[in-house]
Amino acid sequence: MDLILASQSKTRQHILSCARIIAKAVSPQIDEENITISLIAEKASPRDIADTLAEHKAKKVSVKNPLSWVLGCDQVLAFEGKVFGKPKTQEDLRQSLIRLSGKTHRLITANVLYHNTEPMWRHISVNHMSMHPMTATEIETYVEKQWPDAQYSAGGYYFEKTPHLFSEVRGNWFDIMGLSIGPITEYLNQHITETVFKAPKIAAVLGHPIAHSKSPRMHGHWLKTNKISGSYTAIDIPPGLLSQTVQVLIGAGVMGFNVTLPYKEDALALADYQTPRAKAIGAANTLIIDLKGKITADNTDGYGFITNLKDKSSDWLPQAGPALVLGAGGASRAILVSLIEAGVPKIYLSNRTHQRAKDVALQLSPLIEVIDWEDKERYLSMVTTVVNTTSLGMIGKPPLEIDLSSINSKATVTDLVYTPLETPFLVQARSFGCSVVGGLECCFTKPFLDLKHGLERAP
């Protein structure tokens, strides 16, 4: 099928790519602003404005490419009798957010397909978006940080990066992004016989910060390799907003999440169901959403960690001696449980907050002995496994300050941080003769498989 997208939108191109639809992007070169002004003067409804703009784009490109299928798209935001387009300036964006703050507006997406210069199909979706109240400071921060993306979005918000701005969403992720891929694939499958297209499913990784995450690139590769119609994105969620943002994303059709620092324990708490291993660990790194919107929490960190350790360090023997684990967060809990299950006879646990480590040890196993953070170097000669589960040493985070000069040279040292791929901690350990294992593979293999199966089960 020869399909042309009458738009230069990278987001729309990405959505088509996720559905395994090959399309050439062509700019329609229409005067959107004047067309919109004329339609408003004629008292056209917001729905008709979006539809007319989408049709103008499709028709303009179809006239030059009559044998091709041409997809035209447009989107307008309607609120209190006014139509909001893309903000022209940062001040436009500021005023838009002031008006939308704490209120519910409609985001209207129109898609029109042309063939042989004639309209063949059209679809209009109406999404209801309820925004949290925003303070003046929050608005200024948003304008400053999000302007590069917001200037290309109707109303000036970039939902895929800032879903936490909303208290409720009644709509579909792809409609909100500007292309109704589900109805499009359904129509094309009825009228194009060469192949069958599937509407992509959405999954995401949640954390704060999240810019360092390689998950979208890794999962995007695996989705393509396994020929799954899906998209995987990274979403940065500010502190305290995990639960409400997950509910907003579920409402928009996101059906699975990986969870990273600092939300693994919070993720377990918000789930409707917990797997036995997630419950035993007390933290979750995978959330799977069923057809009723219920959340099942799982934890695959331990599985990935042990598998990676065995694969990358052929001489690692869990029974050979004690382990030293740095950090007592959600990831640490999974590592501690997996080391005990693998047969490590004793674990020394050290955390900057001593009481947190004591609480974790008390909950998990008498084989865990808590030691002061300042004393961690004293145990290096006694252990055969050393694991950093903290974010220290990650790009953008403080360094992990530890002197490994007294370390057992036969120890296996691993770091869950994977940006950079080899941390200064691992470089130092290697210089003392230790076997080192990076954290990249353990962070992705099993979580991907769980989300893959979830995506395949979805209708």
Q: What positions carry a catalytic annotation?
A: 264
Strand bridging mode 435-437 / 412-415 = parallel
Angle at 106 between CA 100 and CA 110, to 5 degrees: 135
321: phi then psi, degrees, rounded to nearest 5: 175, 180
**Amino acid (one-letter) located at 436:** V
CA dist 227 and 229 (Å) reads 7
Distance between terminal CA atoms of the chain? Answer: 25
- By DSSP bridging, strand 323-326 and strand 82-84 are unpaired
Compute φ and ψ for 280, nearest 5 degrees: -65, -40
Report CA-CA distances (Å) from 336 to 230, 341, 365, 386, 387. 33, 9, 9, 12, 10
CA atoms of 123 and 156, how far apart (whole Å): 23
Determine if the peptide bond prior to 420 is cis (ω within 30°).
yes
Q: What is the DSSP string of 150-205?
A: HTTSGGG--TTT-GGGEEEEES-HHHHHT--HHHHHHHHHHH--S----PPEEEEE
Q: Phi and psi for 12 in degrees, rounded to 5?
A: -65, -40
Tokens of 168: 């409720």
Amino acid at position 78, single letter: A
Question: What whole-number distance in Å separates Cα of residue 52 and Cα of residue 57?
Answer: 9
Asked whether 414 and 386 are in contact (CB, 8 A), the reply is yes
Nearest to 169 by CA among 239, 94, 276, 253: 253
Nearest to 348 by CA among 393, 387, 390: 387
Residue 173 tokens, joined: 């992720």
- Total residue count of the chain as it appears in this document: 459
